[in-house]
Amino acid sequence: MLCHGSMRIRFDRGTLVLDQQIVDGAVWDPELAAWRVPAARLSEIRARISDNGVRESAVSDTVKPASLADGWKLPELRWYQKAAISAWRDAGERGVIALPTGTGKTLTALGAICALGVATLVLVPTRVLLDQWARAIGEAWSFPVGRLGDGDHQLAPITVSTYASAIDWAPRIGDRFGLVIVDEAHHVGAWCPAEVLEMLVAPARLGLTATPPDDAMAVTRALGPVVYELGVAELVGDALADYDLETVPIQLEPVERAVYREARGRFNAAYAKFQRYAPKSTWRQFVDHSMKSAEGRAAMAAWRASRSVLAFPAGKREKVRQLLARHAGERVLIFTANNATAYEIALEFLVVPMTCDIGRAERAEMLRRFRVGEAPVLVSSQVLDEGLDVPDADVAIIVGGTASARRHVQRIGRVLRPRIGKRARVYEFETQASAEVTTVEQRRRGLRGRQEIEVDLLEPMETSVLTSLEMAAHS
């Protein structure tokens, strides 16, 4: 209930401090003798004050993010980038823009910052993206760009921060920005804790992603719904290069086949038994249950063993050799299911590995060599999938991976940067008579439309484990 008289609003440690309980959910702070609410509710509080007819002169509101100085030199936006910004503004400057990898999501976001003209905080998952965003902003805006992460602690009217650094900094700087942009927004609620966004007053919020998550509740709550979305199929031949996608069938050798069948059989038996007793259980629940018994741990060991056979059998090794010879001199990206396979390929074929173990300076040098053709082949399990500004490539070889349609779209997008006369080639390995057949079919559905995206039941564990490891490596 809003009483007559003066009203004070100020920011403190990621919350707003009020001298009246004007919204539900406010918590009394006896030390300050005032009410606290999450900083993200600033717009709601101001609307409540206005609706109650409180005079502007009676409100002491110290939360006022700065405006940006003019100094933009943006290139001309493409039709879909303009349409995306327009849709976002029509939605109240809150929501998610979903565009495929290689279509210029960063430039779209810069157009949104320019249009609003308010201090902006950009949140990114990795140090690689921290560098890329700071460089892109610096090329389009004439003033210093702030950086939080990878050893940097500079604030500016436009600041880029890793998710991990934002966790520490949000309680101190959450009142300085009127717009927050979250790159790779599908990580909100997991790698990017929703609590970080609760500590930011920014009324304008923009999420960027190549593929929105199936369960978008956390993203919608923190940033808003998807307000504009185009898929690969809708932009090929326009914003993206045409491409050919070829399935490469792989046959296991007799010994490999025997090892795979034995390991997969042991896992399937244990998983089927668990499903009979708990048919509605999740993969995570199965993993937690398995860790409590020797039988369960043996089942998980069998699962890992079966996947190890599929990671890089002799048939895949020979096909990589043939394809590298076929495309000698072209820029090639090789994607694997794990780092061990990436290093194995790098060692055998003398190509450059890109993993989270590689530092910023070395990574930049590798990309430079790739760009100029000195090292025309890069191999990686995760780093090339998301958040890396890879120079123009012509060929992708997908040796292995999960059933994630999102990751598949991101991988293919790496070779779809348009160029006059370009037609990209994508080779996707599929081990016959194995679980990889289903995996390939599931992840391909992301190319045919979001309504067909499904996620393999085995993927949630991989995603959660990788998320924690990547966050530690990239913060």
How far is the CA of 13 from the CAs of 37, 41, 173, 203, 205, in angstroms?
Answer: 11, 14, 9, 18, 20
The domain ranges of the chain are 7-61, 79-230, 242-252+313-474, 256-310
CA–CA separation, 124 and 138 (whole Å): 16
pTM of the model: 0.80
**79-230 and 242-252+313-474: identical CATH topology:** yes
- Going by pLDDT thresholds of 50, 70 and 90, the confidence category of residue 361 is confident
Contact indicator for 449, 233 with CB cutoff of 8 Å: yes
CA–CA separation, 420 and 215 (whole Å): 38
Other CB atoms within 10 Å distance of the CB of residue 295: 11
Strands 152-154 and 146-149: antiparallel
Strands 179-182 and 352-353: unpaired
- Going by pLDDT thresholds of 50, 70 and 90, the confidence category of residue 298 is very high
CA–CA separation, 127 and 18 (whole Å): 37
Say whether 205 sits in a helix, a strand or coil: strand
| Rg (the chain; Cα; Å) | 25
- The H or E element that residue 425 is part of is strand 423-431
Q: Give all strands (DSSP E) within 100-188, no chain letters.
A: 120-124, 146-149, 152-154, 158-162, 179-182
Task: Give the model confidence (pLDDT) of 366-422 as tens digits.
Answer: 888 988 889 999 998 876 665 566 667 899 999 998 777 778 888 888 888 888 888
- Going by pLDDT thresholds of 50, 70 and 90, the confidence category of residue 304 is very high
Task: Give the model confidence (pLDDT) of 118-136 as tens digits.
Answer: 999 999 998 888 988 999 9
> Residues 402, 406, 407, 411: what is their CA dihedral angle, to the nearest 10 degrees?
130
The fold for domain 79-230 equals Rossmann fold (3.40.50)
CA–CA separation, 348 and 355 (whole Å): 17
Task: Give the model confidence (pLDDT) of 278-292 as tens digits.
Answer: 988 888 899 999 999
Helix axes 254-277, 294-311, angle to 10 degrees: 140
Contact indicator for 85, 111 with CB cutoff of 8 Å: yes
Task: Give the model confidence (pLDDT) of 128-179 as tens digits.
Answer: 889 889 999 999 999 999 999 988 999 999 999 999 999 999 999 999 999 9
- Going by pLDDT thresholds of 50, 70 and 90, the confidence category of residue 6 is low
- The amino acid occupying position 289 is H
CATH of 7-61, one of 2.60.40.420, 3.40.50.12140, 3.40.1170.30, 3.90.550.10: 3.40.1170.30
**pLDDT at res. 284:** 87
CA–CA separation, 338 and 403 (whole Å): 14
**pLDDT at res. 449:** 52
DSSP annotation of 68 reads P
CATH of 242-252+313-474, one of 3.40.1050.10, 3.90.480.20, 3.40.50.300, 3.30.1540.10: 3.40.50.300
For the segment 305-316, the average pLDDT, to the nearest whole number, is 96
CA–CA separation, 325 and 101 (whole Å): 27
DSSP annotation of 282 reads -
- The amino acid occupying position 120 is T
